[in-house]
Amino acid sequence: MPGPMSAPGGWPRYAVFGRGLEHMPNREPIPSTLSEYVTRAIAGLPPAARLVVVFDPDADLALGETFEIEETGQTWRVMRYDGNDLAFRQGYRPGRHDLVWVTCPPGWLRESPLRIAPFAAGRAVGGGRAGPQGRRQGHR
């Protein structure tokens, strides 16, 4: 008998961790790799989709020049963007199926701290401090 936590048809509304996928009807198994996840996501797009942007900071996908989706028979042309605006703008020409692969710049290591701003822990590059108006103080 369906209870307050049941969806129509008597199925549980929420899957409980540890019970497995048998409690999630009409669902495919969870992808085992990042590549499998991206493949499924792209295969599920409408046929008219022409541009896909994949954010993969550590370049774990290791994509080549093309990315093929066997289920749909589509071949997506891969254009990598690693922070070099000029190279990307010179190399990108819109096509039928384009995949923009956004990664960190070459030489970036996973263990490296991310640099978000030129100021780190209240210190400006060169040892001066940032003042309340955003200007460096103590620099001659």
Q: Tens of pLDDT along 115-135?
A: 555 544 454 444 444 444 444
User: Does pTM surpass 0.85?
Assistant: no
User: Confidence class of residue 41 from pLDDT cuts 50, 70 and 90?
Assistant: very high
Element of type H or E holding 90 = helix 85-91
C-alpha dihedral sign at 11, 15, 18, 20: positive
Please state the φ and ψ torsions of residue 45, each to the nearest 5 degrees: -75, 155
- The segment with the largest mean pLDDT, out of 2-6, 52-56, 123-127, 131-135, is 52-56
Rounded-to-10 torsion of CA 71, 77, 78, 83: -140
